[in-house]
Amino acid sequence: MSKTKSKSGTLTVITGVIGSDGHSIGSWLVGHTLSEAGLKVVRLGSMVQQADFVKAAVETNADAILVTSVYGQGYLDCQGLRQKCDEAGLKNILLYVGGQLVVGSEDFGAVEKKFKALGINRVYPPRTLPSVAIDHLREDLGVA
């Protein structure tokens, strides 16, 4: 997936904790690491609704939305996000999600399959380092 970049060539990423999830430290660490890697990060904080992710992505011409969730309801909170992006003209935006996405100890392969069926491009299990997402962003967008 390739996208025309702004004049600066900087990747823009929206980050936040989706739904009613109030955790913030993990999302802050992800945002900080992305910034340190030279990406433009728009941090929405915690308890962010889908519409707010989409609005921020439209306003900033973002390349990706990185959603975190640790309270186990990520699957419910992400249902319909791809459709909302498509409706807003963001058909090519990358959607990444990571954290404790479901309640219990469901096999991660099954969890990943569920999220990909929702139109999520990349799904990360708990404790995935932000550098993995950075590498995937660059790979998926075809930038060095």
Active site residue 21: yes
Q: How much is the pLDDT for 104?
A: 84
Count of residues in the chain: 144
Q: How much is the pLDDT for 76?
A: 94
Q: How much is the pLDDT for 1?
A: 39
pLDDT of 4 over the 50 cut? no
Using DSSP's 3-state secondary structure scheme, residue 24 falls into coil
Tokens matching residue 144? 């060095």
pLDDT of 107 over the 60 cut? yes
Which whole number is the average pLDDT over 63-87?
95
What is the rounded distance in angstroms from the CA atom of residue 137 to the CA atom of residue 144? 10
Domains parsed from the chain with CATH numbers: 12-141 (3.40.50.280)
Measure the N-to-C terminal CA separation of the chain; round to a whole number of Å.
14
Q: How much is the pLDDT for 45?
A: 93
Runs of H (alpha helix) within 69-127: 74-78, 81-87, 108-117
Q: How much is the pLDDT for 35?
A: 94
Q: Which of 21, 63, 77, 140 is catalytic?
A: 21
Does pTM top 0.95 for this prediction? no
